[in-house]
Amino acid sequence: MNKQINVTQSSMPDFSEYVEEIKELWESHWLTNMGAKHNQFEKELQEYLNTSKIKLFVNGHMALESIIGACHLTGEVITTPYTFISTTHAIVRNNLQPIFCDINSEDYTIDTTKIEELITEKTSAIIPVHVYGNICNVKEIDRIAKKYNLKVIYDAAHAFGETYNGKGVANFGDASMFSFHATKVFNSIEGGAVTYKDEGLTDILEGMKDFGILDYESVPYIGNNSKMNEFQAAMGICNLRHLLGEIEKRKLVVERYFMWLKDIDGIKLNRPQEGVKQNYSYFPVVFDGYRKTRDEIYDSLEKNNIYARKYFYPLTTDYECYEGRFHSQYTPIAKKISKQILTLPLYANLEISDVDRICNIILN
């Protein structure tokens, strides 16, 4: 049988490099609660993302849930169902009502021409999602937010390290959430971060991730436990050293896919956005009018021990936990794309010969 190829493979430093990075933990015995590695990682990320304020979290979901809570949002939040379930959960778990806006069919981000019609007196924020490394129409979202006095919190889990017209993606809106999960282009095993502009959020975010504690005798916030530990931070420090090289390797894989699959009837590829410095995080393919459906392609790859991903499918509005609450017929483009999309295997060490084999299966 052919070797198994998964949709992704975690980037990792040499074992010896990681061991060297964590060696001092055996001397300090400081494993969590904002230790030396945590603080070093936070500082290096702030520099890499070229942003003014950042806080680390145990994972991206808790980062998003915490920043939503810290902003004291109320009522309704406009977002998109074309995302990982975490985005919707984070809104609902903050006792807010998500109002779902459709996506555009070009880059799969929120359709900014449909946002204003969804705004009511109850709307307090917009939570758009950068998708597959595609950046939302940040200029138009900023215009709408200022017009209606709304907060903007970006789910930037797919856009780590990218820039748009030279500006780091961490600096758009009021805040952005990043995920450093093992499947991401950059990982700290698990992990996440929030970048933000309002200095007034600093103590709130610091407290919220540590049970609301600011010191041993003061708990001014109702918080959670979402601190990043030292082992995660050490992995992040190591992986950050090699990130640019990993992205270059991923770029070669993406270019090979394009060589095979461009200009094929019924196959739509994710074209680079003008002005965006890419991180090559995903390779989504839409099968629309192709001689085989998305699901047939998925099954054919699986029979050859190749595991692509129907990502995002289903829409978050269609999961059973939200049955009867939300309805995907109101976002028809998102519904259509979700049934046609397949993200193909993409990671730094994916061999070009394996890309060739994947494309041969799709085309034959």
User: Residue 327 has what pLDDT?
Assistant: 93
Task: Note whether 189 and 235 are within 8 A (CB).
Answer: yes
User: Residue 214 has what pLDDT?
Assistant: 87
Task: Write the pLDDT tens digit of every residue in 106-138.
Answer: 999 999 999 999 999 999 999 999 999 999 999
Helix (H), strand (E) at residue 39: helix 36-49
User: Residue 357 has what pLDDT?
Assistant: 98
The rounded mean pLDDT for the chain is: 97
Rg (CA), the chain: 21
User: Residue 346 has what pLDDT?
Assistant: 98
Task: Write the pLDDT tens digit of every residue in 268-294.
Answer: 999 999 999 999 999 999 999 999 999
Instruction: Using the predicted structure, report yes or no on whether residue 324 has a pLDDT greater than 80.
Output: yes
What is d(CA 263, CA 247) in angstroms, rounded to the nearest whole number?
A: 25
- Residue 75 exposure: Cα atoms within 13 Å on the Cβ side: 12
Mean pLDDT of 72-91: 98
Span 15-238: which CATH code? 3.40.640.10
Q: Name the residue ranges covered by the structural domains of the chain.
A: 15-238, 242-363
The pTM assigned to this predicted structure is 0.97
Mean pLDDT of 2-25: 97
Task: Note whether 214 and 220 are within 8 A (CB).
Answer: yes
User: Residue 1 has what pLDDT?
Assistant: 67
User: Residue 187 has what pLDDT?
Assistant: 98
Task: Write the pLDDT tens digit of every residue in 27-76.
Answer: 999 999 999 999 999 999 999 999 999 999 999 999 999 999 999 999 99
What is d(CA 183, CA 196) in angstroms, rounded to the nearest whole number?
A: 24
Instruction: Using the predicted structure, report yes or no on whether residue 213 has a pLDDT greater than 90.
Output: yes
Mean pLDDT of 208-222: 92
Question: The domain at 242-363 falls in which architecture?
Answer: Alpha-Beta Complex (3.90)
User: Residue 2 has what pLDDT?
Assistant: 82
Q: Enter the DSSP assignment of 344.
A: P
Distances (CA, A) of 285 to 76, 313, 318, 338: 33, 13, 22, 11
